[in-house]
Every structure is written in C-alpha cells, then in structure tokens.
Amino acid sequence: MRTIKGPGIFLAQFAGDAAPFNSLDAICGWAAELGYKGVQIPTWVSSFIDVEKAANSKAYADEIRGTVEKHGLKITELSTHLQGQLVAVHPAYDTLFDGFAPASVHNNPKARQEWAVQTLLHAAKASQNLGLTEHATFSGALAWPYLYPFPQRPAGLVEEAFDELARRWTPILNAFDEVGVDVCYEIHPSEDLHDGVTYEMFLERVNNHPRANLLYDPSHFVLQQLNYLDYIDIYHERIKMFHVKDAEFNPTGRQGVYGGFQSWVNRAGRFRSLGDGQVDFGAVFSKLSQYDFAGWAVLEWECAIKSPEQGAAEGAPFIAAHIINVTEKAFDDFAGAGTDRAANRKLLGL
C-alpha cells in the first residue's frame, strides 16, 4: 500500500481578477500558506497557464513548474473539464456551452469541437512536459437530454450516442497514451459518463483503452444516491484521481433528486464544504488506501453556503487529517510464531 499524496487544491473555483487569485505565482503563495502541498491547474485560466505554449515549449513548461515549486508545491494535474465538455455537445446546449470556448468559434459547433479536441491534444503534450501522469476532464454528452425515458427513447438512440462519443475520444486517448498520461473522466451530471454503467458502456466502445480512467468524486454520487464506497470496490483499478468534495442529500415531501429547478441553496441535494456534508471521508480514504491509490487528494471547493476562502482554509487540515500513513507491517507481527513448511505440515497433521 502507498500513502495518498496531499493535500492538494483545484484552483478553478478560486481564480479571479483580484490578488492573490489573479496569477499562478500569487495563488500558489496563498495555497502554500494554507498548508496545501499541490495545485491542480485549470487550463482555461490564461493567467495561470498557456496550455498550447506548455505543449510546444519545454522551457515554458519548466517555467510554470518553477513558479509552483518555489512555493514548496507540486503540480498534481492539469484539467480540461470545460474543453472536454465541448468534445460532444447536444445542440440543445450549443448557446450555453459557447461560453466555454473563445468567441472566434461561437455559433459554430464544428469549429468549437475542433478547438476543444486540439486543446486536449495540447494538454497531453503539456502534461508530459510538466512531468505529469494523470489528466482531469469531462466526457461531454450527446445523450444527456434523453436521460429520463419518457417519451420512450427510440431503439438504438443511446447506443448511437455512445458509439459516436467513443469515435470522438479514441484518437484523443491514443494521443495521451503516446505521452504516458492517463485521461481521468470526472463522472458527473450533464456528462454521458455520469455513473458506473455509463462508464462501462463507454469503456466497452473504446476497447477497454488503458488510458480511459476515472476521477473519483463522491459528492456527485451522494446527489444521485449511488453507493460511493461500493463504487471504489468496483472501479479501484481505474481510479487514478480524487477530488475531495462534500455533499448532502435531504429529500422532502416537495423535492428529491431532481431538485425542482431550485437554486443550489434550496435544493434537496447540494454541495458543501468539507466536513459539512454527508460523505464518510474516513471510509473513503480507508478504501482508497486499501486499494493502493497512488494519487493526490485534491480539494474541490463548491459549497452553497460557506465562502470559498473559509472552505479552502478548512480544507487543507481536513484532508491532512484523513490521509492515512499506511502501515508497512501487520499489526499482529509481534505474535508471529516464525514457523517453516515442515512445521506447517506438522500442524496440519501431514
């Protein structure tokens, strides 16, 4: 077993125009002061990283890494959540998802998808230049509008959607394989890969691609009432990344999983800061340690009530307290009899 690395922090929800959140150097100084050991960098925040430049210039990638490491931090992974979303977009979401892409490709779904795919290819090479071995992203979705089977879905609709999703992602997965980096899909609502079954449907279509792996985030499973501990038992060999995020689900006689179109604070299911929700992180960290998870425990702050500054300040010690320094010996070694095969056979009457 290996000890989980951390605490790390995903910088996406903290990026902004005001110091210390407006540059990679400043935000790394802030994170280090809070006790974080690693940062996960969102590639769409241009004040943090130029992912195309990091792909094409090892010197620039070394500069980015130096900026982070001078604060005593490590880069845990890069993220292309927004760009990954754009690999597959149902037309119903075209207008909304244009906001994830540069203005030059707005109102042009084909150009937007090409831009997204190219950005992922840059992220693969940039990850290699930065010495990283995992990458965070979303799968995108073509079938999401048809999630609920009413009206009845036409035969073959979902299968065709997943066939196409696999066709789009296979060359991307191959590019990541060439540079030795795992693609870790965050299993998430609004993605066609939103639970274990849909991940398996996709995995089958990409021929069990060795780079098609998972970012584990239990908060999304709380909100859809999926057993997040059993999920680790089932998929631990594919779990390569870990977002430490809390959530709670409090159904009433008025609303449940679907949330009644309410704001986050008024939903039955809502994200919370670490320790304020219902995730059993003691059990989560134990299972991941049991299965020899070798990655980082990275805070993703999303809370309907608490401020991001307070959530970040509380998050580092929370994660540190849950990281298990795994044992290198059995607890009952002191009582070992130190026998050999002959003694064992004698004990068995052989």
Ranges of H-type helices in the chain: 24-34, 51-56, 58-69, 81-85, 94-97, 109-129, 157-178, 196-205, 218-223, 228-235, 281-290, 308-322, 341-347
Q: What is the pLDDT of residues 145-195, one digit of tens each?
A: 999 999 999 999 999 999 999 999 999 999 999 999 999 999 999 999 999
55-96 pLDDT, tens per residue? 999 999 999 999 999 999 999 999 999 999 999 999 999 999
Locate 85 and state its tokens. Answer: 């979303």
CATH number of 112's domain: 3.20.20.150
Give residue 69's identity as a one-letter amino acid code. Answer: E
**Positive or negative: CA dihedral 72, 284, 133, 54:** negative
Residue 297: is its pLDDT beyond 70? Answer: yes
Q: What is the pTM of this model?
A: 0.95
Domain total for the chain? Answer: 1
pLDDT 10s digits, 181-207: 999 999 999 999 999 999 999 999 999
User: What pLDDT, on the 0 to 100 scale, is given for residue 334?
Assistant: 63
Q: Give dist(CA 220, CA 199) in Å, integer.
A: 14
Confidence of residue 335 (pLDDT cuts 50, 70, 90): low
Please say if the pLDDT value at position 333 is more than 90.
no
| Structural domain for 119, as ranges | 5-347
Per DSSP, the three-state class of 1 is coil
Q: Which two tokens stand for residue 53?
A: 């430049």
